[in-house]
Amino acid sequence: MTHRTDITTPTDDLSVYTEGVAGVIDLDRPRALNSLTHPMVTGIADALAAWRDDPTVTTVLIRSTSPKAFCAGGDVRWAAGRDADDDHATPDAFFREEYDLNATLAEYPRPVVALIDGLVMGGGLGISAHGSHRVVTPSAWASMPEMAIGFVTDVGMTHVLSHLRHAGVDGVAPGPSPALALFLAVTGYRQSAEEMLWSGLATHLVPEGTAEQVADRVIAEGVDAALADARTAAGAGVGSGSGSGSGSGPGAGGGDVPLAAHLGWIGETFGSGEWAEVAARIDAATGPFADEVRSLLAPANPTSLVATTELVRRSARSTLRGALDAEYAVGCALRRQPNFVEGVRAVLVDKDHEPSFRPADVADVDPAVWRDLLA
Ligand code: QUE
């Protein structure tokens, strides 16, 4: 048995401790699917700062106490409440600190292991996708759902998605895809665990029901030993350092990975232009996947789609910190529009999923406004 030493945190929604060779962060706000409050963000950042100079902490492990979710996002319900009262400065400070934490995780000098067993969305990806090891079970799924609440793809995910190296498919070589980045950023498409492994969002897939055992081994033996038998993606080069995965991953050809099978269409449809051009190509497309994409986009705020397209295009040529600053600028502007409070109302408060966004039509949103904000 290893000895556990607890560290005081600003909130009961988080347990932070050192055990074995690891610094462990347990997200523990299961009633809200671990959506991140400001004290949770502060507590995680404090732990990372403390462990940076602690040579006994060789690995950071982030996991969840909820059987359903790793983390559903930031506490946007709270943020919208402040914005509705014309208090923008308080949520501004929350998002700034959250985005600084995202960058800290990306730059952390030790392995950061996120164990994702269940859903991960938005801000949950912000505290997992930047780390070195994104371990999923077959129950995991991931989505960026911000368009439906009148917000923007944030937490550095415009940058992550633009730089992900997918594993390739017949006719498309492995590597980053600007089209796939925009598709994932705006549709809220739910990637399965297999799709996450193929897209590069996940680095390792472990069998159903083994999350706790994997965590125990990370704590006792470190991350390399714990993941020696885990599946890695074939073709994408993730985890190529160990090379010891079973190798039977969703490789070139796509197999049972729908996202891979649709990569050609996604490339033709999402690969170029501002949102109005992409939307016109989607409108003109036929077939079941085009129908699925149209229904995914139906609840989206047009202004969010236009602004996010500008951010994603820009993120391919920027640093993570640059992308986070751009997302912050756009996010602050969007939270000052009634659409954000309206979107959170429709999705999370009243749950009627019938927002009335203004403008209601993409043709009435000027992309130059958002480009100029980022210039
Ligand atoms: C967009 C989002 C979030 C979302 C839904 C969206 C988000 C978030 C939650 C969420 C979900 C379940 C909960 C909760 C929050 O949903 O950020 O408290 O119980 O946290 O369409 O950005």
The CA-CA-CA angle for residues 111, 31, 2, to 5°, reads: 40
Q: Does some domain include residue 339?
A: yes
Which residue range is the domain that position 306 belongs to? 5-236+261-374
Task: Give ligand 1 pocket residues (Cβ under 6 A).
Answer: 32-33, 35, 72-74, 76-77, 121-123, 145-146, 148-149, 151, 347-348
| Ligand 1 mutation target, pool 38, 339, 348, most atoms within 8 A of CB | 348
CA distance linking residue 198 with residue 322, whole number of Å: 27
Q: Does some domain include residue 253?
A: no
C-alpha 74 to ligand 1 mean position (Å) = 7
Res 2: pLDDT: 81
Count how many domains the chain has: 1
Q: What is the dihedral of CA 78, 89, 123, 114, to 10 degrees?
A: -110
The residue among 256, 340, 348, 269 whose CA lies nearest residue 309 is 269
Q: Does some domain include residue 58?
A: yes
| Ligand 1 mutation target, pool 76, 296, 301, most atoms within 8 A of CB | 76
Classify the C-alpha dihedral 198-200-202-205 as positive or negative: positive
Please identify, by atom number, the ligand 1 atom nearest to the C-alpha of residue 123.
17
Q: Does some domain include residue 252?
A: no
Tokens of 367: 């992309």
Please give the single-letter amino acid code of residue 312.
V
Res 375: pLDDT: 84
C-alpha 149 to ligand 1 mean position (Å) = 9
Res 1: pLDDT: 67
Q: List CB contacts of 255: < 8 A, sequence separation 6 or more.
A: none
CA distance linking residue 51 with residue 54, whole number of Å: 5
Res 254: pLDDT: 53
CA distance linking residue 82 with residue 149, whole number of Å: 15
Q: Does some domain include residue 88?
A: yes
Please identify, by atom number, the ligand 1 atom nearest to the C-alpha of residue 31.
19
Which residue shows structure tokens 């929350």?
94
Element containing residue 116 per DSSP (H, E): strand 112-116
Q: Does some domain include residue 94?
A: yes
Res 215: pLDDT: 98
Q: List CB contacts of 345: < 8 A, sequence separation 6 or more.
A: 80, 355
Q: Does some domain include residue 254?
A: no
The residue nearest atom 21 of ligand 1, judged by CA position, is 145
The 3-class SS string of 237-270 reads: CCCCCCCCCCCCCCCCCCCCCHHHHCHHHHHHHH
Res 256: pLDDT: 79
Contact 123, 35 (CB under 8 A): yes
Please identify, by atom number, the ligand 1 atom nearest to the C-alpha of residue 69.
12
Ranges in the chain, pLDDT < 50:
235-253
Contact 268, 281 (CB under 8 A): yes
Res 237: pLDDT: 37
The residue nearest atom 10 of ligand 1, judged by CA position, is 72
* pTM, entire model: 0.95
The residue nearest atom 11 of ligand 1, judged by CA position, is 72
The residue nearest atom 17 of ligand 1, judged by CA position, is 73
Q: Does some domain include residue 216?
A: yes
Tokens of 230: 């885990």
Residues 321-354 pLDDT 10s: 999 999 999 999 999 999 999 999 999 999 999 9
| Ligand 1 mutation target, pool 28, 35, 71, most atoms within 8 A of CB | 35
Buried residues in 211-224 as b, exposed as e (16+ CB within 10 A): beebbebbbeebbe
Cβ neighbours around 175 below 10 Å, total: 14
Question: In terms of DSSP bridges, do strands 14-19 and 4-7 run parallel, antiparallel, or are they unpaired?
Answer: antiparallel
Length of the chain: 375
Helix, strand, coil percentages (3-state) for the chain, rounded to 5, are 45, 15, 40
C-alpha 22 to ligand 1 mean position (Å) = 29
- Write the CATH number for 51: 3.90.226.10
Q: List CB contacts of 226: < 8 A, sequence separation 6 or more.
A: 214, 217, 218
CA distance linking residue 211 with residue 61, whole number of Å: 12
